[in-house]
Amino acid sequence: MNTNPEIAFHATLFKQQQMNCSAVLLTAVWRRCTEHRPRHGSASVMTTCKTLRRRSVRCFSICSYPLFAACIGTSPDEGRCTCGYYLRSQGAHEVRVSPIFCRHLFTFVEMKVLNSLVALVFCAIANAQQSAWGQCGGNGWTGPTTCVSGYVCTVQNAWYSQCIPGSAPPPATTAPPTTTSQPPPPPPTTTTAAPTSTPTSGGIEIPYGTLVTQCTVPGTIAITFDDGPYTWTSSLIDSLNAAGVKATFFMCGRFYGCIYDYADVVKKAYNSGHQIASHTWSHADLTGQSASGVQNEVSRLETAFQKILGIKPKWLRPPYGSQNANMLNTLRGLNYKIVTWNFDSQDWNGASVAQSQARFNALGADPRIIPLEHDALQSTAQQLGPWIATWAKNKGLQAVTLSECLGEPIPGGQYELVGGAGPKDSTWVC
């Protein structure tokens, strides 16, 4: 095939600049720009080109000298478009060419450039370095696997590795127990920490694998909310903060909503001093899961917490309160403490706010309850939750976090600190 010299020249420019491109974006850009390439005389494609005009221009902003044929309308109001390429240089300018030139261009680029894209992707990834606290590995990760100077790529779990300072020791990892070669699990333990008169930052941390159902510190309750974050969680946090009380949020990764879509709400709860804990990734019944299934449900949510907050919660509430010995033993191996509840507001079961309030009003002077509520329910987040905060204060009770009501050290009893929060990137999706 006789190649137009102008095509060859610009294709060479593109090839020289390949390593300036983001490999991941380059692949996506190539797909987007070529999928919608016009065919001369096709009105339907012209409409598509016009619709994608702005998107196409963005395609050309990835590299210093990108060369992609794409649909570029001469103006937003014109009903026609032409096929061309965009050359960004020190004085950026646009060059439009004829459809015939465009077809030659595609033929050349597809033959001479597309064949090298796979090698380019792996080369660019290998040479790129992740920024401080960014993700550098994990199942499905296709980005940089090395870190900038002074940081080390450290495995946090199967789904997430993070660039942490080189002086920081890597977190200890424990493989989950198998279901075929282990002895029968011991029965769940109960809390043994001696209660103190008020919650403090000291105390004794409860062992992993422990199942807790009630507070041990006199005069305290631990208000808990499940299934968020969701639409109403932010306003609930505002109400709790205004009342001067603390709560514990057992969050899911993807249930009512995607945790990454509510990252600001997660940060708001954490920065306000409320305790963040796990409620599994998808609200799965863990008693029906294998050991690897339990680990998957737990580690995917760990990854989200590490990206958003830079912490791994130590406490988990199993969905539906379901539990068995194998599940508890698996969670012990994954460094989790387990909590259910000893008081149910019944908000999940259709109880009205007034009915839930009546249940609270029937309690004794020092119930030491861990009540169950759900911030994914609007009536709970906007009415029942704020009312419980006021009810506790009027009753002379301290509404504190779960770890505080158990006399655990703060924050050591709540979290493993695994580094700083990572920057938001394309992996923050469910």
Q: pLDDT tens digits for 67-111?
A: 333 333 333 333 333 333 333 333 333 333 333 333 333 333 343
Q: 30 with 68: CB under 8 angstroms?
A: yes
List, in sequence order, every residue forming a beta bridge with 241; answer none if it has no partner: none
Backbone torsion region of residue 252, taken as left when φ is above 0, otherwise alpha when ψ lies between -120 and 50, otherwise beta: beta
Q: Show the CA angle centred on residue 251, arms to residues 250 and 252, nearest 5°.
A: 135
The CB density around residue 224, as the number of other CB atoms within 10 Å, is 28
Q: Does residue 183 or residue 259 have the better pLDDT?
A: 259
Please report the pLDDT score of residue 48 as a whole number.
33
Alpha-carbon distance values, 266 to 277, 306, 307 (Å): 11, 12, 11
Any idea which residue has 């504190």 for tokens?
400
pLDDT band at 364 (very low <50, low <70, confident <90, very high): very high
Catalytic site includes residue 93: no
Q: Does residue 135 or residue 88 have the better pLDDT?
A: 135
Q: pLDDT digits over 301-359, tens only? A: 999 999 999 999 999 999 999 999 999 999 999 999 999 999 999 999 999 999 999 99
DSSP label of 278: E
pLDDT band at 131 (very low <50, low <70, confident <90, very high): confident
Distance from C-alpha of 5 to C-alpha of 27, rounded to nearest angstrom? 26
Please report the pLDDT score of residue 272 as a whole number.
98
Please report the pLDDT score of residue 10 as a whole number.
38
Phi and psi angles of residue 108, each rounded to the nearest 5 degrees, phi first: -65, -50
Q: Does residue 386 or residue 73 have the better pLDDT?
A: 386
Please report the pLDDT score of residue 157 as a whole number.
63
Catalytic site includes residue 36: no
List, in sequence order, every residue forming a beta bridge with 224; answer none if it has no partner: 248, 372
> Which SS3 state, helix, strand or coil, does residue 281 take?
coil
Please report the pLDDT score of residue 226 as a whole number.
98
pLDDT band at 165 (very low <50, low <70, confident <90, very high): low
Distance from C-alpha of 95 to C-alpha of 80, rounded to nearest angstrom? 16
Q: For the residues 55-67, what does the mean pLDDT come to?
A: 32
Of 18, 240, 3, 256, the residue nearest 116 (C-alpha): 18
The CB density around residue 115, as the number of other CB atoms within 10 Å, is 9
Q: pLDDT digits over 235-291, tens only? A: 999 999 999 999 999 999 999 999 999 999 999 999 999 999 999 999 999 999 999
Q: For the residues 172-180, what does the mean pLDDT come to?
A: 34
Residue 183 has pLDDT above 90, yes or no: no
Of 31, 23, 27, 56, the residue nearest 123 (C-alpha): 23
Question: How far is residue 233 CA from its own chain's centroid?
Answer: 17
Catalytic residue among 10, 104, 279, 374: 374
Tokens of 276: 């963040």
Please report the pLDDT score of residue 202 as a whole number.
66
Model-wide pTM > 0.85: no
Distance from C-alpha of 300 to C-alpha of 255, rounded to nearest angstrom? 13
Catalytic residue among 104, 226, 227, 274: 226
